[in-house]
Amino acid sequence: MDGDVAVGVKRGSDELNMYSSSPNSMTANGSDSKKQRLDESPPSRVLHIRKLPNEVTETEVIALGLPFGKVTNILMLKGKNQAFLELGTEEAAITMVNYYTAVTPQVRNTPVFIQYSNHKELKTDSALNQRAQAVLQAVSAVQDGSSPSSDQGVLELAPPPSPVLRIIIDNMFYPVTLDVLQQIFSKFGTVMKIITFTKNNQFQALLQFSDPVNAQQAKLSLDGQNIYNSCCTLRIDFSKLVNLNVKYNNDKSRDYTRPDLPTGDGESTNKDHSLLGTPSGALASYSSGGGYSSSLSLSQGGGAISPLSAAAAAAAAAGRVALSGSGVSGVLLASNLNEEMVTPQSLFTLFGVSGDVQRVKILYNKKDSALIQLSDGNQAQLAMSHLNGQKVFGKVMRVTLSKHQTVALPREGLDDQLLTKDFSGSPLHRFKKPGSKNFQNIFPPSATLHLSNIRDGVGEDDLRRLFSNSGGTVKAFKFFQDRKMALIQMSSVEEAIQALIDLHNYDMGGNHHLKVSFSKSTI
């Protein structure tokens, strides 16, 4: 149980006048004497929320209560960083307090304290509380499926057009799976069906609720939120569809009303699995390590919906480790490599798209396998989710977490086959600089490559010829306006991987080394 959640604190009857919390407020895991006093404090449908961030909005506070039922009133005390929230029923308030006893409530990535008020209802001066009442009216209209009156100066909300939402994930630096979406959206109602797919190199989903009002509540609360810290941003719209037709239950689509559906044939070979980070034929499990549902918290603003570390989330999505996320190795094992072609340098270049590779060792007795050590567990998880199942040098590469914590260097003179290389001092690391834009441009392998640092005077024909010489076919090319950057599209993802390995850091003369990375765009 988290110590950040204060529950059932009874204070003096002048609570609403003083707006000050007692210095003796108890958290849910207080001492025995405090627990006894907790039991004496009666539940109320009015909740007192403390330690809110400075710039918090009414909508963000209301969103804390939305998953649990109708929110009927709100009073913001911005100077005190506090608020009072009134729910439609006492049962809804009890459910909310119980839930946030197990899961630390967060607003803008800041833990907040929620407790019962000793008032049974919230009486507010509507003249002084006008903005909050306007927001509340808009939210109430969504919950009732009606439209608020326009004379209150609030946005008109039409009745929800569909129970189906279209969800796009922006900045998807870590894998998001169907199970993650189900956990997040089920807080707002019954999720019946989900279909995930990739369009224009972007992970998208269609998600159907049992009721259009639930879909509108979810859209109101979640649109623009991050699933993990500073990434995986939800963009939510209503779909034109009103019903989804799901044929298979697997890691790409699910009909929760029909558990009897087949898993489908050949699903595990689909290329999109590299984007989802799910290994062939394995569904990510969220029941281990305390369960995903007990880890979710709806945090607002610049924070994340889930307080999980991104590394743990990526690992869980890849089905490799429990959700604890601690002690995740930065070492990967790549297997089923083409031993005639693979070199430490080629693996350094390919895995270096997702993180800074420190060392590479091709195994002496099994030259189709290699250990790759990245800077940390986050980078290793990301590289694994992007590269597992990709075709490299004509063979489907398998990437898993290694049990090793580091890659050992051979003693001097013993590595006569040059199977091990230390890249820790390499000038080619993409992510050494904190806050580098490169962190925002990590994408899974795609047929389209992004080229930068192109030398003046180098034209489209020169670059087409250069990339054709790597053994591929150039399908399309487009210069950016300044002609220092360009997009080039190969005929397959495998050809693009080969071209990146061959031509990243290619010397174009005049101290210009070509930079190559995977793009989410198409030409």
CATH of the domain at 446: 3.30.70.330
Residue 313: inside a domain = no
Q: What is the pLDDT of residue 229?
A: 65
Instruction: Give the number of other Cβ atoms within 10 Å of residue 21's Cβ.
Output: 18
Q: What is the pLDDT of residue 492?
A: 95
Q: What is the pLDDT of residue 253?
A: 93
Q: Which of 200, 223, 255 is the last residue of a domain?
A: 255
In sequence order, which ranges of 308-453 are alpha helices (DSSP H)? 310-317, 344-351, 377-387
Q: What is the pLDDT of residue 158?
A: 52
Query: What would the two tokens of residue 439 be?
Result: 């962190």
Structure-derived torsion over alpha carbons of residues 376, 378, 379, 385, reported in degrees to the nearest 10? 140
Residue 523: inside a domain = no
Instruction: Give the number of other Cβ atoms within 10 Å of residue 240's Cβ.
Output: 9
Give yes or no: residues 423 and 510 share one domain.
no
Give yes or no: residues 71 and 115 share one domain.
yes
Query: What would the two tokens of residue 191 be?
Result: 């999720």
Q: Which of 204, 233, 255 is the last residue of a domain?
A: 255
Query: What would the two tokens of residue 419 be?
Result: 């199977």
Give yes or no: residues 247 and 168 share one domain.
yes
The residues pairing with 113 across neighbouring beta strands, listed in sequence order, are 50
Give yes or no: residues 417 and 463 share one domain.
no
Give yes or no: residues 425 and 451 share one domain.
no
Give yes or no: residues 335 and 425 share one domain.
yes
Q: Residue written as tokens 């053994």?
A: 471
Give yes or no: residues 411 and 443 share one domain.
no
Residue 27: inside a domain = no
Q: Residue written as tokens 């209802």?
A: 121
Give yes or no: residues 204 and 135 share one domain.
no
Give yes or no: residues 459 and 408 share one domain.
no
Give yes or no: residues 378 and 466 share one domain.
no
- pTM, full prediction: 0.44
The residues pairing with 88 across neighbouring beta strands, listed in sequence order, are none
The whole-number mean pLDDT for each consecutive block of 10 residues of the chain, a chain of 523 residues, reads 36 37 34 40 89 85 81 87 91 85 79 90 70 68 47 45 91 80 86 90 91 86 79 89 91 88 57 30 26 31 40 40 46 95 97 94 93 89 88 94 88 76 93 73 90 93 94 94 93 96 92 91 84
Query: What would the two tokens of residue 474 be?
Result: 């150039």
Give yes or no: residues 395 and 480 share one domain.
no
Q: What is the pLDDT of residue 213?
A: 85
Residue 271: inside a domain = no
Query: What would the two tokens of residue 93 be?
Result: 């308030």
Query: What would the two tokens of residue 441 be?
Result: 């441009």
Residue 20: inside a domain = no
Closest residue by Cα to residue 181 from 284, 328, 279, 260: 284
Residue 188: inside a domain = yes
Domains contained in the chain, number: 4
Closest residue by Cα to residue 296 from 92, 97, 103: 103
Give yes or no: residues 182 and 234 share one domain.
yes
For 29, 30, 36, the CA distances from 33, given in Å and listed in that order, are: 11, 8, 5
Cβ-contact 113, 13 below 8 angstroms: no
Residue 244: inside a domain = yes
Residue range of the domain that includes 178: 164-255
Task: Supply the DSSP symbol for 110.
Answer: E
Query: What would the two tokens of residue 504 be?
Result: 């990243």
For 97, 114, 191, 246, the CA distances from 8, given in Å and listed in that order, are: 9, 9, 32, 45
Residue 470: inside a domain = yes
Q: What is the CB-side half-sphere exposure of residue 28 using CA atoms within 13 A?
A: 19
For 105, 147, 158, 429, the CA distances from 63, given in Å and listed in that order, are: 11, 19, 19, 41
Structure-derived torsion over alpha carbons of residues 181, 182, 188, 194, reported in degrees to the nearest 10? 90
